Structure 1
């Protein structure tokens, strides 16, 4: 900076004096520099000026209008923005209930459905003893029963039924023996988190169930609402949970609760053309052609079927009657493995039970000349006869 000042101070300009032609008492001074040469400005540029192209261009008419606005305009616009921010959030879109064009019913679906139902009658799956429908049985008050069902479903997302059931029981004990809206609101977040920290995404679910309880208290008289849209307005509640809550808590059959098991199995069976990509697409397809009387049963039926036989990885096609009947397009050949646990089908059997003692007799069928094996358990309670062809392996 000092060097610049020295440079400016050393510059001199030669001036020539002459008398004014209009007034002899006035002397005029003229420069001797060439007028064609540009005169360098002595003004020092201290800060760079923002170029116009760095900011969005504003038409000249808008600039003039902006300059002419009074100062009170800024406060008015600020108050309008503040008022807009204080408005209630937009209501979520209503849950779609049906397709504009129904999906056609798949061929042989009735036979497939009947065989799965028959297999499920001989399987005790985790959903049968630890599913969301079981949480309400530990409560006596109707509101608490419905609330327990909702909480169980909210905790069950991406979590096994065994873990969810244990978390609900632990949370109930932490709240004093009953799972109620007021008790959950009054509980500290750390108490809730410590009770449910075995389920998936437990931190987020702690926040969800606490906020949901507050909304139930403030908007629904501390009770579970009776519509899908109201249920889906609660934080952490989606269509699957809403439909199952209405079925279990209110005995309202208004749609199908589709989880990963229902989504996976119905696609394996080829019931969707083209295959569905989301559970919501699966639900809408199923609801368009499956008779309403099956909407309640299909979820627990396929969930248990998926937990025991139609597994996500390495399904037990060797134990599935759909495979032997040739009506499952996704059936796989399963090689015998010593590491795989055997599955024993029976009225009171589960995967952890030891194989029952059986008595095998031979008899002939007049209608079918083939030899049939007739099996019965050697227990005080005689199970129904299970007839299988002689060529099958047991």
Structure 2
């Protein structure tokens, strides 16, 4: 090996194998390369090689990462370490996550506040005969929860007045899991009649009671998933049962009233076709702290003002902001000769006070009009014939 890196001692070994006596170690890389090339191949070609090597060494030394002037202690190439590189990123190049604004209907807070004002009396049927009022307050906790579930099952497609009457008869009979199972279908049907689809509900009550006894120890499930697996129990009943029986807010209980009013007020990004679609759409933007009150608030509002047919838009405080105002209201004007209808303000007072019939009579009497008595079309024809013949 003829590289000066592997030379030992004070002598230099040439390519011919002779040792140059009295030679000293080179003081630099430049001198070592020069001596090696001169000894190996003297002549013009060797001189050119020496000049090329000298130029390369000078360039290597002048470069920023080149060798220092004294390279006696230069480590071997295999022993050199790689320099670590530190990568830095500009703060401006960091891409921040895109924030999307949550959709919410226009003026919904104002509309909700006005509905609260119209529902301040709490005199709608749901307030006095809803599921929160149909259970026995003195019964054990698990019996209370079972009675809440039964009242919700009976309330489907049924008015609150009918549901409350059926629950009163069931409680007198003994509304517990064991009593329902020990009661024959005919007797149970007579107890809950005339609720809507009472024959199917007799089957659902029996099947549900059996599942509660065998799988839940006579109590109702404490989750929406467990409740919806019971026969005859849907998502609306499950969320209401979680709120009333277990005091947990799991979702919005959406029935036909909540479904109808939410679409009329424009509280949905797009119209929905089922209560379950309405529930999911409302939960996307409505604050969670308002989920519990949404059902009883809108149900009572739908029972008194925002009726399914011929809603009372003229007395609704949201008639100027509701996109559906006066679209479904009756458009027929009163016939000539009949007294004028009272103003919206007086009508609203009449609606929220007990004894509506007497209040209507007093209101008409104060305005100077007589209370009209209903006349059948047959009597009207007879009167007309009498006048013509006379």
User: TM-score when scaled to structure 1?
Assistant: 0.60
Secondary structure, aligned partner of 1:321:
coil
User: Match for residue 134 of structure 1?
Assistant: 133
State whether structure 2 residue 237 is matched by structure 1 residue 233.
no
Q: Is the 8 A contact 1:344 1:355 kept in 2?
A: no
User: Match for residue 158 of structure 1?
Assistant: 157
Q: CA deviation at 1:354?
A: 4.0
State whether structure 2 residue 207 is matched by structure 1 residue 211.
yes
Q: CA deviation at 1:355?
A: 3.0
User: Match for residue 254 of structure 1?
Assistant: 250
Q: Deviations over 1:80-106 (max 9, x none)?
A: xxxxxxxxxxxxxxxxxxxxx997211
Q: Is the 8 A contact 1:149 1:248 kept in 2?
A: yes
User: Match for residue 324 of structure 2?
Assistant: 330
Q: Where in structure 2 are there 5+ consecutive unaligned residues?
A: 1-99, 364-390
Q: Is the 8 A contact 1:154 1:236 kept in 2?
A: yes
Of the three residues 180, 187, 203, the one matched with 1:184 is 180
Q: Deviations over 1:14-55 (max 9, x none)?
A: xxxxxxxxxxxxxxxxxxxxxxxxxxxxxxxxxxxxxxxxxx
Q: CA deviation at 1:142?
A: 1.0
Q: Is the 8 A contact 1:185 1:210 kept in 2?
A: yes
Given the superposition, is the C-alpha separation of residues 343 and 190 from structure 1 closer, same or farther in structure 2, using an over 3 Å criterion? farther
Of the three residues 339, 355, 366, the one matched with 2:359 is 355
Q: Is the 8 A contact 1:102 1:289 kept in 2?
A: no
Indicate the structure (1 or 2) with the bigger Cα radius of gyration.
2
Q: CA deviation at 1:138?
A: 4.8
Q: Which runs of structure 2 are paired with 1:48-67 in the superposition (5 Å)?
A: none
User: Match for residue 349 of structure 2?
Assistant: 345
Q: CA deviation at 1:281?
A: 0.8
Q: Deviations over 1:338-381 (max 9, x none)?
A: 799995438972474743999xxxxxxxxxxxxxxxxxxxxxxx
**Between Structure 1 and Structure 2, which shows a larger proportion of helix residues?**
2
State whether structure 2 residue 276 is matched by structure 1 residue 280.
yes
User: Match for residue 380 of structure 1?
Assistant: none
User: Match for residue 111 of structure 1?
Assistant: 110
Q: Is the 8 A contact 2:350 2:356 kept in 1?
A: no
Counterpart Cα distance in 2 of 1:110 and 1:350: 29
Farther-moved stretch of structure 1 (147-156 vs 103-112): 103-112
Given the superposition, is the C-alpha separation of residues 155 and 346 from structure 1 closer, same or farther in structure 2, using an over 3 Å criterion? same
Given the superposition, is the C-alpha separation of residues 138 and 170 from structure 1 closer, same or farther in structure 2, using an over 3 Å criterion? farther
Of the three residues 191, 194, 214, the one matched with 1:195 is 191
Secondary structure, aligned partner of 2:318:
helix
Q: Which has the higher contact order (CA 8 A, sep 6+)?
A: 1
Q: CA deviation at 1:252?
A: 0.4
Secondary structure, aligned partner of 1:199:
coil
Counterpart Cα distance in 2 of 1:343 and 1:153: 32
Given the superposition, is the C-alpha separation of residues 347 and 306 from structure 1 closer, same or farther in structure 2, using an over 3 Å criterion? closer
Secondary structure, aligned partner of 1:275:
coil
Q: Is the 8 A contact 2:315 2:348 kept in 1?
A: no
Q: Deviations over 1:292-335 (max 9, x none)?
A: 11100010000000001000000001110101xx1100000656
User: Match for residue 38 of structure 2?
Assistant: none
Q: Is the 8 A contact 1:310 1:317 kept in 2?
A: yes
Counterpart Cα distance in 2 of 1:317 and 1:344: 11
Secondary structure, aligned partner of 1:345:
helix
Counterpart Cα distance in 2 of 1:351 and 1:278: 36
User: Match for residue 147 of structure 1?
Assistant: 146
User: Match for residue 46 of structure 2?
Assistant: none
User: Match for residue 295 of structure 1?
Assistant: 291
Q: Is the 8 A contact 2:136 2:144 kept in 1?
A: yes
**Between Structure 1 and Structure 2, which shows a larger proportion of strand residues?**
1
Q: Where in structure 1 are there 5+ consecutive unaligned residues?
A: 1-100, 359-394
Secondary structure, aligned partner of 1:117:
helix
Alpha-carbon RMSD across the aligned residues, in angstroms, is 2.6
Q: CA deviation at 1:196?
A: 1.0
User: TM-score when scaled to structure 2?
Assistant: 0.60
Counterpart Cα distance in 2 of 1:351 and 1:297: 27
Q: Is the 8 A contact 1:171 1:195 kept in 2?
A: yes
